[in-house]
Amino acid sequence: MTLKRSLIGLLILLTFSCSKALENNSKSCAIASAHLLATQAGCKILENGGNAFDAAVAVTATLAVVEPFSSGIGGGGFYLLHREEDNLQVFIDAREQAPINSDPQFFVDRNGKAKNLLSLNGPTSAAIPGIPAALDWLSINYGNLSLRKTLKPAIELAKSGFNVDARYSKATKNRQQVMNSFSNTSTIFLDNHKMAKPGFVLQQKNLSHTLSLIAEYGRDGFYEGSVANELIRSVNSSGGFWTKKDLQLYQVVEREPIYLNFKGAKITSAPLPSSGGLVIAQVLNILEDYPLDISNSHDGEHLLVEAMRRGYNDRAIHMGDPDFVDVPVSKLLSKSYAKNRGSNINLSKATKSSSMPSVISNQEEGTETTHFSIIDKFGNRVAATLSINTTFRSGFVAGNTGVLLNNHMNDFALTLNSPNIYGLVGNIKNSIEPGKRPLSSMSPSFVEDERGILVIGTPGGSRIISMVILGILEYLKETEPNLENIVSKSRLHHQYLPDQISVEPEGFNEKWIETMESKGHKVVVSKQRWGNMQTVFFNKVTGSYEIANDPRGLGQ
């Protein structure tokens, strides 16, 4: 749902993933996140003198407590920032990175096939987390408040506990078997080794203590001292290969965002190691040469699919961690390159992916990710997408730290001849190397035009990019932006390989499917909807905020 209120009276807009909102005109903030408690934590920080970046710290940490299946301090993420006072825009890369002792051959059997279970479950699947470093970096370089203040809501919530919701319950059901393989994990997150039903009280006292150490000592509270020692002891005693140096050397990286002008709007998005900004730019650049209404015609949607096919093809061929591999960024962003890439699109016939420049394999990210959007009263804004990979990630809680570790080693290309469990393709540029960060699709973005400023993003694995593209197109097609339409619009997706259009079970009728199939497309109807988009909009004309969250969220 959406809400609008004048800034004259100041406002608080709370949104969460079950399409409900609360308001209180005596406060001031505009935050959209996937959980009410996280949004409340961020707004509390803004009430007490914090800015959008302080609120981002609070929301991140609280989501780690209330959505442990989607994000956490044992994972990583990306933060796109705009600081209004000097018009600074910067991308904070807090993506996990491969341990120094990583060996690509460890994840491959004698027949050259990927041993996916080693990269999905347990400590061998965990890359070095980036979120704790990001919390410290945001606080020191951009915030107004100390970590003691911004982490307080999460610390207290982890200690006291809260009643879990239907999304949490469903997540425990889906990952129950793996979680029961690790006693620390099952003790914390399951109810007597069984699925935790809605209303179950989740307490995480060890996580609360770890967050308290980060609040007191900053990054050193995680990457040094007792927490670091326990992380290494626990990981390595269970078959992993972390070192003290891995933790000591981890740093967030500030990168230049991707910029694109499209149909009168300035779009700012995520650079490598996210593939999001580059693919978004390429798809939109291809579409710009065509006058078709993308959203309301079969030819337009066919064109969109063909543009996605080409963008994801280039993702697979060219993209990886820019600190390790050369990526032709300028070429991929150029209008002339997009024009050339789109020149062979036939509006009557689908291109076969097998006829395009080929790669052999890669992996797709898992879908368990979260996104939040913030604009404060000063005009500062944050789009943040955080991930752990699959549901409840590795399933492994490291010792007495309370930290549930990611399984992002599975985001690397484990072999050159077999995809992982999700099927996105790529090449050696995304292979495992010590200290390297795996390619991602997370796409936190800003869209600014004469009407206002949209902050947008979503979870959803490789489908994140196509969802953000659809959201941008929906925003730009209307004279008066309708955020509810942006977050609720039925979604389609094509990622080059597998060569198919995936569509949600609602919004695409038999006639639409038949028309696409007549053009040569294979259409696969998903069993469930995907994504959990969170958007905030500042209206330049009226001076009002609007927020909207995805109806696919809580309970869906």
Q: What angle do CA 129, 135, 74 make, to 5 degrees?
A: 25
Query: What's the rounded Cα separation, in Å, for the pair 78 and 440?
Result: 10
- Whole-angstrom CA distances from 308 to 4, 260, 455, 525 are 33, 17, 22, 18
273 prior amide bond cis, ω within 30: yes
Residue 23 one-letter amino acid: E
Q: How many residues does the chain have?
A: 556
3-state secondary structure of 38: helix
Residue entry with tokens 């879908």: 367
Strands 29-32 and 12-16: parallel
Whether 389 and 368 have beta carbons less than 8 Å apart is answered as yes
Encode burial over 126-136: b for 16+ CB neighbours within 10 A, e otherwise: bbbbbbbbbbb
Residue 15 annotated to the active site? no
For residue 321 the two structure tokens come to 């961690």
Whether 214 and 132 have beta carbons less than 8 Å apart is answered as yes
One DSSP character per residue, 495-520 reads -SSS-SEEE-SSS--HHHHHHHHHTT
Query: What's the rounded Cα separation, in Å, for the pair 466 and 310?
Result: 12
Whether 532 and 370 have beta carbons less than 8 Å apart is answered as yes
Give me the numbers of helices (H) and strands (E) for the chain, helices first please. 19, 20
Q: How many Cα atoms occupy the beta-carbon half-sphere of 204 within 13 Å?
A: 34
3-state secondary structure of 523: strand
φ, ψ dihedrals at 257, nearest 5°: -65, 170
DSSP H or E segment with residue 488: helix 483-488
Query: What's the rounded Cα separation, in Å, for the pair 47 and 26?
Result: 10
Q: What angle do CA 477, 481, 484 make, to 5 degrees?
A: 105
The torsion of the CA quartet 220, 224, 228, 230, rounded to 10 degrees, works out to -110
Catalytic residue among 124, 150, 268, 369: 369
For residue 322 the two structure tokens come to 């820019």
One DSSP character per residue, 272-286 reads TTBSHHHHHHHHHHH
Query: What's the rounded Cα separation, in Å, for the pair 56 and 94?
Result: 14
Query: What's the rounded Cα separation, in Å, for the pair 22 and 326?
Result: 47
Query: What's the rounded Cα separation, in Å, for the pair 532 and 15?
Result: 12
Pure H helices in 99-164: 116-120, 131-141, 147-150, 152-160
Whose CA is closest to 409, among 417, 420, 423? 420
- Residues that are catalytic: 369
